[in-house]
A and B are shown apart, each in its own frame.
Chain A
Amino acid sequence: MPEPFQIVCSLAVPLLVPDIDTDVITPMRRMGGGLGGRGLDYYAFESLRYIGGDGDRGEPNPACPLNDPELALAQVLLAGANFGSGSSRETAPMAIAMLGFRVLIAPSFGDIFYANCFQQGLLPIVLPETTVAELACWQVELQVDLSEQTITPIGAESIPFEVNPLRKICLLEGVDFIGLAVARSDDISRYQLQARRETPWIFAVENAS
């Protein structure tokens, strides 16, 4: 279960390459037993973070902003357009959360990736490309306040952002959709009681063996 979302104050890692897909974030060849005892985060962004794109050689690529020692504790990632596109792979937001990020800011996200972020306690924020570029350029600490739906770069004006009200409640309370639905188990039982009367043929399989 994700931690409740507090106000985040952090520098941001600028990774403004467009179209970073879920296979770049968590390479398929490293999934399914290919991790060799290493965490998802070790191979995350493997092709960008390691020299030769090879995590097994393990030499960090100093040119990659994700390896900038100044930003080692950053909780905000500034990304390019269409971030997280490609196949529905929940390991992608999982790995990003494991790298310590809580907020992703990009001009656009892959649809499924965007939804999956919330399941991992990550807040994805869509801002215009020029704004994302400005934030990357300023290199200042950002204060991300989910309750107020604002991003405030230190010494600058607040920037408002949109988020679905239910997703917001979930992040602030630290529950995901599973927790949210489990908390409504009485409603579910009541629905099933009524449905067993109205559409008994759906539930007849419960009596079969």
Chain B
Amino acid sequence: MVPLPETLIDRIWGAHVVSSLPGGYDLLHVDRHLVHDLGGPFAFAGLEQRSLPMQSPALTFATADHCVSSAPGRTESTNPSAKALLPLLRSSCAGTGVTFFDIDSADQGIVHVIAPELGITLPGSTVLCGDSHTCTNGALGALAWGIGTSEVVLVLATQCIIERRPPQCRVELAGMLPDRVYAKDVSLALLARYGTEAAAGFAVEYVGTAVRAMSMEERMTVCNLTVELGAKIGLMAPDETTIDYVRGRRYAPTGADWDEAILAWSQLRSDDGATWDRELHLDVDVLAPQVSWGTTPAHTIAIDANVPVRTDAADAAEADSWERALDYVGLAPGDPIAGTPIDRVFIGSCANSRLSDLQVAAAIVEAAGRRVPTSVTAWVVPGSQQVKRAAEELGLHDIFRGAGFEWREPGCSQCLATNEEYIGPGERCLSTSNRNFVGRQGPGSRTHLASPATAAASALAGVITDPRTV
């Protein structure tokens, strides 16, 4: 009998089934478990409460990212949440033998930046973390998704998860990106077109010429924003770009293991004739830089467009929700988004804090040849110590500082402000992060999502600025 065509997601899922359970559930093996400082301490406490040992400490990696300050010269005493939570995670990791990239480690950084960077995330593996942006790791062809606290306890105790195979959605990104239009713009355009429920409950595989042309870091940005489409999982089949990226990284396989691995990884793709439950499509050829105007990532328009008016909405309910969003962000319907004055710029987060993101931003700064006006506070928060060192070797920190940006220490920082680095009430921030929800960056904060290029151009002009005009 000829086997039925399988998708990439089916293939990786099937290879990790430990046993099938009633009700459509599978017990799945977790190859890599990532733990961070915000959820980790509570999960380890849960494990202790049940007097359960850890099943596979060597397959778990922990980092300090959500709670740490990004201030230059920071220590764990700089801010209350790091002071409260880091000692707890440190002692749990020491007690169980989990590798912990502590605040002073040369490998510390945002969990979804360091896992690929250190070769922890591998193609064809299952990767879980108690963080919704775990889908970032799908860029390497891993099946990666975010879980809740009690599920983190489950993974610590059994190295497994209990889950139902989700329906699958194929997203085709066709064409080639125009100049000064980036992966972030692709994701924001997808959200603008299809909405935050487009892939709700689905697992997404990205395909298409634009995907193949993207660097690994660009792919991570696209996979990162998959969760904003409602999907827990987003991935891309591994190819030469992936293998070149993984080769030689700290925890990547070596020797005979490596040879065997790349042979297996070359089989990781969806079969011809495989079917999807939903298909979405975006041509990127004519894409403009995108910027969000409201309070969901789908509230997005091209940077040269105007804020929508009521009559643009599909129905009264949508028009009402737009009105509430505009009221919150302090914009008027029909206004051009470009030219809107900003108070803050945040270049960072697991969406856009990697070396190539900082290179793009620095290139804009150099091309513009001007300084951030005193009315704007602009931060660059590298995603990891490795990114920071690499950027400094290239002199990017001097370019940023010379233009009036603050060059800070790695962490999640202002993306969600769990380290107390808030955007003030009513302040408007152009941010390279992934969520512009009400109050996300602090009570009353107003967030506009965009690419690092748009963020850099806007920082220098003091208003939301099309990077193509620099």
CB-CB < 8 A to B15: which residues of A?
Answer: 199
Contact B29 A188 (CB under 8 A): yes
A169-B22, A202-B122 known; A182-B257 Cβ under 8 A: no
Q: What's the Cα separation between A184 and B130 when bound, in Å?
A: 23
CB-CB < 8 A to B148: which residues of A?
Answer: 88, 90, 112, 115-116, 119
Q: Does A180 contact B (CB under 8 A)?
A: yes
CB-CB < 8 A to B50: which residues of A?
Answer: 1, 178
A181-B157, A188-B29, A204-B253 known; A111-B59 Cβ under 8 A: no
Contact A166 B257 (CB under 8 A): no
A176-B150, A184-B19, A188-B159 known; A205-B84 Cβ under 8 A: no
Indicate which residue in B24, B157, B158 contacts A164 across the interface (CB closer than 8 Å). B24
**In residues 122-159 of chain B, which contact A (Cβ within 8 Å)?**
122, 124-125, 132, 148-151, 153-154, 157-159
**In residues 240-263 of chain B, which contact A (Cβ within 8 Å)?**
251, 253-254, 257-258, 260-261
Q: Does B174 contact A (CB under 8 A)?
A: no
Contact B23 A167 (CB under 8 A): yes
Find the A residue at minimum CB distance from B57: A206
* 16 A-B contacts (beta carbon < 8 Å): A90-B149, A116-B148, A116-B150, A164-B24, A166-B21, A166-B22, A166-B25, A167-B23, A178-B52, A181-B154, A181-B158, A185-B158, A202-B31, A205-B251, A206-B58, A208-B251
Contact A187 B149 (CB under 8 A): no
Q: What's the Cα separation between A203 and B122 when bound, in Å?
A: 11
A192-B29, A202-B31 known; A177-B264 Cβ under 8 A: no
A188-B18, A205-B59, A206-B58 known; A181-B260 Cβ under 8 A: no
Besides A1-B50, A167-B23, 19 more A-B contacts (Cβ < 8 Å) are A88-B132, A164-B23, A165-B23, A177-B150, A180-B162, A181-B157, A181-B158, A184-B19, A184-B27, A185-B55, A187-B19, A188-B18, A191-B29, A200-B253, A201-B253, A204-B253, A205-B120, A206-B58, A206-B59
A33-B84, A178-B50, A201-B261 known; A188-B153 Cβ under 8 A: no
Contact B257 A201 (CB under 8 A): yes
Q: What's the Cα separation between A148 and B115 when bound, in Å?
A: 47
Q: Does A73 contact B (CB under 8 A)?
A: no
Find the A residue at minimum CB distance from B160: A181
Contact B27 A178 (CB under 8 A): no
**In residues 30-76 of chain A, which contact B (Cβ within 8 Å)?**
33
Q: What's the Cα separation between A205 and B34 when bound, in Å?
A: 14
Q: Does A7 contact B (CB under 8 A)?
A: no
Q: What's the Cα separation between A16 and B457 when bound, in Å?
A: 49
Enumerate the 5 nearest inter-chain pairs by beta-carbon distance, A residue then B residue, closest first.
Answer: A166-B23, A201-B253, A165-B23, A201-B257, A201-B261
Contact A90 B150 (CB under 8 A): yes
Contact A199 B157 (CB under 8 A): no
A166-B23, A177-B162, A202-B31 known; A191-B18 Cβ under 8 A: yes
Q: What's the Cα separation between A184 and B52 when bound, in Å?
A: 14
Contact A188 B55 (CB under 8 A): yes
Indicate which residue in B125, B157, B253, B257 contacts A178 across the interface (CB closer than 8 Å). B157
Q: Does A159 contact B (CB under 8 A)?
A: no
CB-CB < 8 A to B339: which residues of A?
Answer: none
Where the two chains meet, the residues of B that have a C-beta atom closer than 8 Å to any C-beta of A are: 15, 18-19, 21-25, 27, 29, 31, 50, 52, 55-56, 58-59, 84, 120, 122, 124-125, 132, 148-151, 153-154, 157-160, 162, 201, 251, 253-254, 257-258, 260-261, 264
Find the B residue at minimum CB distance from A88: B148
Where the two chains meet, the residues of A that have a C-beta atom closer than 8 Å to any C-beta of B are: 1, 33, 88, 90, 111-112, 115-116, 119, 164-169, 176-178, 180-182, 184-185, 187-188, 191-192, 195, 199-206, 208
Q: What's the Cα separation between A14 and B312 when bound, in Å?
A: 39
Find the A residue at minimum CB distance from B126: A202
Find the A residue at minimum CB distance from B443: A29
Contact B154 A201 (CB under 8 A): no
Nearest CB of B to A174, in Å: 14
Q: What's the Cα separation between A195 and B126 when bound, in Å?
A: 13
A-B contacts, CB under 8 A, total: 103
Nearest CB of A to B285, in Å: 36
Q: What's the Cα separation between A166 and B254 when bound, in Å?
A: 41
Q: What's the Cα separation between A180 and B160 when bound, in Å?
A: 11
Find the A residue at minimum CB distance from B258: A201
Contact A178 B160 (CB under 8 A): no
CB-CB < 8 A to B22: which residues of A?
Answer: 165-166, 169
CB-CB < 8 A to B261: which residues of A?
Answer: 199, 201
Contact A187 B18 (CB under 8 A): yes
CB-CB < 8 A to B251: which residues of A?
Answer: 205, 208
Nearest CB of B to A78, in Å: 25
Find the B residue at minimum CB distance from A206: B58
Contact A178 B29 (CB under 8 A): no
Q: What's the Cα separation between A42 and B151 when bound, in Å?
A: 26
- Among A178, A180, A182, A191, chain B packs the most CB atoms within 10 A around the CB of A178
Find the A residue at minimum CB distance from B252: A201
- Among A88, A165, A199, chain B packs the most CB atoms within 10 A around the CB of A199
Nearest CB of A to B186, in Å: 26
Q: What's the Cα separation between A181 and B24 when bound, in Å?
A: 15
CB-CB < 8 A to B24: which residues of A?
Answer: 164, 166
Indicate which residue in A182, A192, A205, A208 contacts B157 across the interface (CB closer than 8 Å). A182
Find the B residue at minimum CB distance from A115: B148
CB-CB < 8 A to A202: which residues of B?
Answer: 31, 122, 125
CB-CB < 8 A to A182: which residues of B?
Answer: 52, 157-158
Contact A184 B84 (CB under 8 A): no
CB-CB < 8 A to A181: which residues of B?
Answer: 27, 154, 157-158, 160, 162
Nearest CB of B to A107, in Å: 18
Q: What's the Cα separation between A178 and B329 when bound, in Å?
A: 43
Nearest CB of B to A108, in Å: 13
Q: What's the Cα separation between A59 and B206 when bound, in Å?
A: 54
